[in-house]
Structure formats: structure tokens, C-alpha cells
Structure 1
Amino acid sequence: MNRLIAIVAVLIVLAGGGYWWVTQQATETSSEAEPAATATDAKTAQDFGLTEMAIGNPDATVEVIEYASFTCPHCANAHANLIPQLKKNYIDTGKIYFVYREVFFDKYGMWASLIARCGGEQKYFGIADLIYKGQAEWVRAGSDAAIADELRKIGRLAGINAEQLDACMNDSEKLQNLVSWYQGNATADGIESTPSFVINGTKYSNMSYADFSALLDEKLAE
């Protein structure tokens, strides 16, 4: 949890300037930041003017919340293997309601979130899939500017124009709201690693599809 809160301490102090301000300041700020203040109580996305990204049946008796970071290799692996099977067998069939919440380890994960959210709710999961599939390439692009350009390419693949992408990357208000919302959620649910899953209020660490499926079947039978 210390790593999660440390990055919140860096990001929550941002007063404005968007992407370019973060690009220039995040490294030196991280070395000077004080320990994070006590997190705000968990609030809904709407409290921060944000959208809770979710798919599946909102009336399902089982809710699965995934906490993951776009820069986490274990999360990319889960989205290549575990999540597609869950989608096919439990989400698309209406058995569960699946919620995805971003975790922020670094500024690159934040930029990826801004790009994923740039297309709105309808395009979010498609863009997120592209970000995870290309993670090994874009996170190693080199400079901050090169990484940002690679993320913009993903946004353009999703049909978002350059002007929209620049606006999203420079939306400092959304950045602050995402961090504040994340901080409350991570504290309330005790998130210490990624990916983590909260199933009907109980936290679980990453697991195989076989174990996940057995757990979901148990919950659905209750």
C-alpha cells in the first residue's frame, strides 16, 4: 500500500497545467513529496464528475471490481488471459457486473487513463484493451514525449482526433479528480497490489481463471 499512497502524494498536489506540467515536474516532485494525507472517504465516481467504467448486468447478484494499473505487467497478463474468459462466460452472459478501476503507480499510468477515458464510456474498454496489448512497446518508448506519442497513437486507432487527445491529456481537473477518487477507493478496499479484485465486497488477489470461475459459481449459487 505504501507504493500506492506514495504516488498519490505526488499526483494529488498537482494544481494545474495538465500533461506538460506533469511531464516537467513529476520526477522532482516525487523526491520532495510529503507522506500522503489521510485518504478521503470512498465516494462515487459521480461525486468527482467521473464515470464508473463498467460492463455486464448491473442487476446481477455478483459484482466484480478489478483494480489494475495500465503500467502493471501482471495486469496486462490478466487482460490477455483471465479477463477475456470472464467476459465470455460471465460478463457477456449477464451473470456478473464487472467494474474496472484504475490504479496509479506512475505518471504514465495516469496518461494512459486519460487516453482510455478520452473516447467516453462506449470506447473505454476497447481502448483499455489496446493499451494493455501494446504495453510492452509504449512503456519502453523512451522519453516522456515518446511515451505520450505512443499513447496518442492508440487513441487515434480508436478514432479520436489529435485535438481531442491533446485536450484529454491536458485535462488537469480530470487528473486531480481521478487521483482523489482512486485514493478513497484504494484505501476503502485495502488495495495493496495489482491486479486485485473485490467480489461482492470481499478482496481477492490475482488468480487463475479456474479458481476465479469456481469462486464466481459459488457466489452465484448463494
Structure 2
Amino acid sequence: MRIALPLLPLLLLAGCGGGDAGSGNSGAPAQKVAAVAAPAGTSWAETVSVTPEGGYRMGNPDAAIKLVEYGSRTCPTCGQFGRDSVPALADTYVASGKVSYEFRDFAVHGAPDLAAGLLGRCGGTGPFFPILDQMYANQNAVLEKLQSLPESFQAQVQQMPPAQAVSLWAQQLGYIDFVKQRGIPEAKARQCLADQKGLEALVKITEEAADKVTGTPSFFLNDNKLDAVNWTQVEAALRDAGA
């Protein structure tokens, strides 16, 4: 697959704050959905799997209410949602078995998002959501580094092959040290950054959703796009759906 995404970030962070309004959270509230117990010895909040679409899903794979987020790890509005939704999304809604939550990396800011996404997936399903939460908790520090990089750096990475450029972005933004502190050895982190198939998979998610996702975060509830960009709005939609 040819990597077609721009390697330069949009330094004004355009594209954050959600896309066109949907209509998925309109109408009368649905009837309450019954809770579903997790298999013995497990919890739905710790049940994570990779979906055919390339996202990471937390919770009951057969949940009646399926929440999907297209998010950018460098988008401030996504970060605010991530911080505000902890712990209620996992501990209240997903844990009930009524709701599943899937996160799909959407590289609205090009290479910096690809770098963060590759490293966020590097540990597999177990640490995926904890690392996502911690990346959002640390987001302001990353954005400060992003905004302070000189134009010469951007010119430099623009001339590099995509995988090499993504690795350099990860280094400059502190993501390699970040995941090292969370149990991923540097050698493994660099291996993940150099994984061409992993890079292509992230690009594919963004390309395939580009016709319906015009900004981040974008939320879909049972395939209906929500007019929502923050946790208050998303939680209201979950309740209206019977959660």
C-alpha cells in the first residue's frame, strides 16, 4: 500500500473538535438494555480484542450498544474526552456488558498520530487502553514539543521515507521514552515503528473512514454518527440507547 497521508502535522491542530453533526442521538430514549455478566473470572473492562476494521474493542463483543470512536492521540478535544470518560466509560458502561467501546486511530495530524498509534498498539491488547489513557494524560507535554519544533525539522522529515519519518517523530515527541517507562523495551518500540504492515493498517483505517469522519473525535453508536464531541454528550447518548 502506498502511504498517502501527509507526514507534516497540522500545527494549528485543525480537524480536532469533531466533524459534521450526525443524528444518532435524537429521538425518544430506548428501553433499558439488560446487563450481561462477563465469563467467570473475567471482567468486560479487561476484555480487549482487535476488530476486523482494525480498531481495539473493550467489552462484550456481543454488546447491544456498540460505541466506536475515531480519535487522534494528538487532538486536544480527543484528549479531553479521554480524560473525562475515565473511569465511568469502562467501569460503569462497559463493565455492565451492555456497551462495548472501540477506539480506531484516525491520523488527522499525519505522522505524529501514526507514531503514537504504532506505539500505542505495540504492547498488544492488554495494555492498549491503559496506554491510550496515559497518552491523553500526558498530551499537553507532547503538544508543547510539537509546537516548538523548528521548521527545519519539518523540512527534514518531509524528505524521509514514511517509516523513517514516523520513527523520528516518535523520538522527537518523547513517545519512545514514554512507552519505555510503561514496560515496552526501546528495541521493541523501534521494531513497532518500523513495521510497514502496522503502518499500512493505521493508514487504511484513516483512508477508509475519510468519507464519514471529517474531524476528531467522531463517535458512532450502533453505526449511527453522534452529534457529540465530549463525554457529557456521549454519556447522554449511551443512556438514551438504554445503557
TM-score if structure 1 supplies the norm length?
A: 0.72
Q: State yes or no: 1:184 paired with 2:208.
A: yes
1:194 and 1:206 in contact (8 A); partners too: no
The 3 A distance-change label for structure 1 pair 83 and 195 is farther
Q: Which structure 1 residue ranges, 4+ long, deviate > 3 Å from structure 2?
A: 44-47, 142-147, 207-211
Q: How many residues align?
A: 180
Give 5+ residue unaligned stretches, structure 1. 1-10, 15-21, 28-43
- The alpha-carbon deviation at position 60 of structure 1 amounts to 1.1
Residue matched to 1:118: 122
In 1, distance between residues paired with 2:103 and 2:113?
14
- The residue that corresponds to 2:143 in the other structure is 139
Query: RMSD of the TM alignment (CA)?
Result: 2.5
User: Which amino acid is 1:193 matched to?
Assistant: G
Q: Output the CA distance in 2 between the equivalents of 1:161 and 1:218.
A: 43
- Compared CA separation, residues 207 and 175, structure 1 to 2 (3 A): closer
Paired position in structure 1 for 2:98: 95
CA shift, 1:181, in A, is 2.8
Q: Sort the Cα spacing of 1:201 and 1:159 in 2 relative to 1 into closer, same or farther, 3 A.
A: same
Distance 1:185 1:146, change over 3 A: closer
The one-letter code of the counterpart of 1:157 is Q
Query: 1:12 corresponds to which letter in structure 2?
Result: I
- Corresponding residue SS for 2:133: helix
More helix by share: 1
- Flag the structure with more relative contact order, 1 or 2, with Cα contacts below 8 A and sequence separation at least 6: 2
Q: Which ranges in structure 2 are unaligned for 5 or more consecutive residues?
A: 9-49, 154-167
Q: How far, CA to CA, are the matches of 1:181 and 1:45 in structure 2?
A: 11
Sort the Cα spacing of 1:13 and 1:210 in 2 relative to 1 into closer, same or farther, 3 A. Answer: closer
- 1:147-162, aligned counterparts within 5 Å? 148=171, 150-162=174-186
Cα distance change of structure 1 residues 176 and 66 upon mapping to structure 2, 3 Å threshold:
same
Partner of 1:213: 235
